[in-house]
Chain A
Amino acid sequence: MSTWIMAGITFREAARKKILWTALIAGLGFLIVFGLGLHYQIVDFTSTTPAFLRYQILSGMLMIGLYTVDLLAVVMTILTSVDTIAGEISSGTIQAIATKPMHRWQVLLGKWLGFAGMLALYVAIMFGGTIAVVYWMVGMTPQNPGRGALLMFLECLIALSVTFLFGTWFSTLTNGVIVLGLQGLAFMGGGWSR
C-alpha cells in the first residue's frame, strides 16, 4: 500500500511541479517542428524523384524523428529523477518519510513506479505522436512500432534505475554528471557496435 502511495505522490509531484506539462509542451513543439520538416521535404520532391529514394528519405526522417524522441525521453528521465533521492537526502525531506512504517525499498520502488508511469505516458505520446505525424502525412508506418516503443521505454527505465542507484550515494550534481556521462558512453557504444 505504502509503495502505491509513494508512486501516487511522485506522479502528482511531477504534475504539480509542471515537469510533466513542460515536457509534454516541449514534446508537442518537437512534433510540430518535425511535421513542418517533413512537409517541406515532401514539397521538395519532384515528379521525377524515384519512389525508392522517396521511401529512403522519408524512412530516414522517421528514424531521425524517433532517434530524437529517444534522446529526449532518456534526457528527460535523467533530468526529472536526478534530484528525487539525492535532493531529498540533502534537504532532509526524506527523514520524515523514511521513518514512516514502511521499508526503504517501498520508498524507492514507489518513487520508481511513479516516474515509470510518467515516462510511459511521455514515451507513448512522443513515440505515438511521431509515428502518427508520419502516417498522417505520407501514410507510412515503421515495422514493429510496439516493440520499438517498449524498447524505448525500457531504455528510460534503465536510465531511471541507474539515476536512482547513484542518487542514493551521491549528491544531485554528481549523480547528474555520472548518469549523463554514462548515457553518452552508451550512446556512442551503441553507434560503434552497429
Chain B
Amino acid sequence: MLLGLVKPSSGDAFVLGAPAGDIGARRKIGFLPEDFRFYEWLSASELLHLHGRLAGVPSHELRARVPAMIELVGLTAHRDKRLEDFSKGMLQRIGLAQALIHEPELIFLDGPTSGLDPMGRCLVRDIIRVQRDRGATVFLNSHLLSEIEITCDQVVFIREGEVVASRDLRSVHEEEVRVVVRARNLSEETIAGIAAWGTSPIFKDDQLTFSTSSRETLPEILRYLVAAGADVYEFTPQRRSLEELFVSMMGQDRGL
C-alpha cells in the first residue's frame, strides 16, 4: 500500500511527506519483494541498468554505479550471466542491488535474507548497516527474528494488519531481564526476599529463576544472595529473545 501496489479501501497514508503511491516519493524508495522475480533472460548488469533507468538514474551515472553495486552484493564474477542461471541466493542478492541502485532514502526489504547462506546473510546485514549510516531508513520485514535482533534498531510486531507491539532494540538496559541462578544453601526466606527486586522466583533442582525490571539491580541481588549465605555457582542474566517475546505476544500458532 505504501508503495502504491494496493489501493487503500479507506483512509490516507503518507510516505516521505507525500500520499502513499506518489510517483515523486517512489523515486526515493527502494523495494525488494519477498519472492523476487525478474526477466530471467537479462544478465545481472542489464537488470540493474534497467531498474536504474526506471528509477530515474541517468545512463551515464549507471555506467559507474552498476559495477559498484554488483561488487557490493558480491556478484562481480556473475555480472554477465543471465538470471535464469542464478541460484535463489544470487537472485536475492541482485534483487537487493536493484532496490538500492538509485540510492533511495527509504528502503523496504521483504525477507531479504531468505534463501541466503550464512555468508550471504552477513553480507546483507552489512549492506543494511551501510544504508543506515548513509542516512536511509530501512524497513526489514522478516520472520527470522534473530536477524531482526542483530540488524534493527526498532521492531514492530504486526498481527493481522494491526500493530501488536513495538520495541526499541537499542535500549536493552530498559528491558526486563530474566536471571537464572544455580545455588545451594538457599533458605525459603532468602528466595522469597528476591521478590523485592522482581517477579516471584521459582526454585527447582538447585536452580532459581526470576525476572527483574532492570539490569542495574543485578549486583544488588547477587550481594543479597551471598550475604544470605547461599553458595552461588552460576548467576546468568538472560535477555528475553525476540522470539520468546513474539511467541508470548502472538499466542499459539494459528496457522497464519
Contact = CB atoms under 8 A, between A and B. Distances in A.
B233 interface: no
Contacts of B98: 96
Contact of A13 (B3, B27, B41): B41
A5 B33 CA distance: 21
A103 interface: yes
Interface stretch (B47-55, B118-126, B152-160): B47-55
A101 B41 contact: no
Contacts of A25: none
Interface stretch (A64-72, A87-95, A134-142): A87-95
Interface string A35-52: 000000000000000000
Given A16-B41, A93-B39, A101 B51 contact: no
The A interface, classified by DSSP as helix, strand, loop or mixed, is: helix
A101 B27 contact: yes
A102 interface: yes
A99 B4 contact: yes
B150 interface: no
B84 to A, nearest CB: 11
Contact of A93 (B4, B31, B37, B50): B37
A99 B38 contact: no
Interface string B30-66: 0111011111011000000011011110000000000
A5 B24 CA distance: 18
A103 B26 CA distance: 11
A9 B50 contact: yes
Contacts of A22: none
Contact of B5 (A2, A93, A99): A99
A100 B52 CA distance: 10
A26 interface: no
B39 A5 contact: no
B144 to A, nearest CB: 20
A194 interface: no
B37 A101 contact: no
A100 B4 CA distance: 10
B26 A99 contact: yes
Contacts of B37: 91-93, 96
Interface string A1-39: 010011001000100110000000000000000000000
Contacts of A97: 54
B68 interface: no
Contacts of B41: 13, 16-17
B55 A95 contact: no
A9 B33 contact: no
Given A13-B39, A17-B41, A93-B39, A99 B50 contact: no
A103 B23 contact: yes
A96 B31 contact: yes
Given A13-B39, A13-B41, A93-B39, A102 B54 contact: yes
- Closest 4 interchain pairs by CB? A101-B27, A100-B54, A101-B26, A95-B33
18 contacts: A5-B50, A5-B54, A13-B39, A13-B41, A92-B35, A93-B37, A93-B38, A95-B5, A95-B31, A96-B38, A96-B95, A96-B98, A97-B54, A100-B26, A100-B54, A101-B23, A101-B54, A101-B55
Given A93-B39, A97-B54, 14 more contacts: A9-B39, A9-B50, A92-B36, A93-B37, A95-B33, A96-B31, A96-B33, A96-B51, A96-B95, A96-B98, A99-B5, A100-B26, A101-B24, A101-B54
Interface of B: 3-5, 23-24, 26-27, 29, 31-33, 35-39, 41-42, 50-51, 53-56, 95, 98
